[in-house]
Structure 1
Amino acid sequence: MRKDVYNYLEQNKELHSFLREQPVWYRKISRDPTQIQAMEIAALHYYKKTIPHRVEKISYGVQMASMMFSMFQSMNNQS
């Protein structure tokens, strides 16, 4: 692996750990260092940090809060 690519991966700990968990990317990056951007996108999907994943997470939180609120309301109405 080229030294500049290795230094870049050392600076970004998340990419470094992704590379350890997905060794196929080590081979791809060693053969073609221009694939590092594709690896960053794959890491975002792997760690679920894309915008759709974040929206889903927020939506789930709002849904849970709404369910808890309605449960508290129904408990309050029964008393």
Structure 2
Amino acid sequence: MEPETYRFIQQREDLWYFIRSNPEWYRYLTRNPSIIDELEIEAKQFYGKTLPQRMEKAQQNIQMIRLLMQMAGSWND
């Protein structure tokens, strides 16, 4: 792997752990270091950091709060 690519990955802890979990990416980057952008996209999907994934998680949290509020309201009756 090219030294610049390796240093970049070491500086980003999330990418470092992603590559450790998915070693095929080490091979991909060794052969073609220009796909570092694709690595970042895959890592975001892996960690659930894409916008649709974050929106879904927020909706789930809102539903959980509503459910807890309903349960708390039924105990007061």
Question: Where has structure 1 moved over 3 Å in runs of 4 or more?
Answer: none
Which residue does the alignment assign to 1:32? 32
Instruction: Give the TM-score normalised by the residue count of structure 2.
Output: 0.96
Deviation string for 1:19-49 (max 9, x for gaps)?
1110110000000001110010000001111
- The answer to whether residue 47 in structure 2 is matched with residue 47 in structure 1 is yes
Gapped runs of 5+ residues in structure 2? none
CA–CA distance in 2 between the matches of 1:22 and 1:66? 38
Count how many residue pairs are aligned between Structure 1 and Structure 2.
77
Higher relative contact order (CA 8 A, sep 6+): 2
> Which has more radius of gyration?
1
Identity rate, percent:
36
Deviation (angstroms), 1:75: 1.4
CA–CA distance in 2 between the matches of 1:65 and 1:16? 35
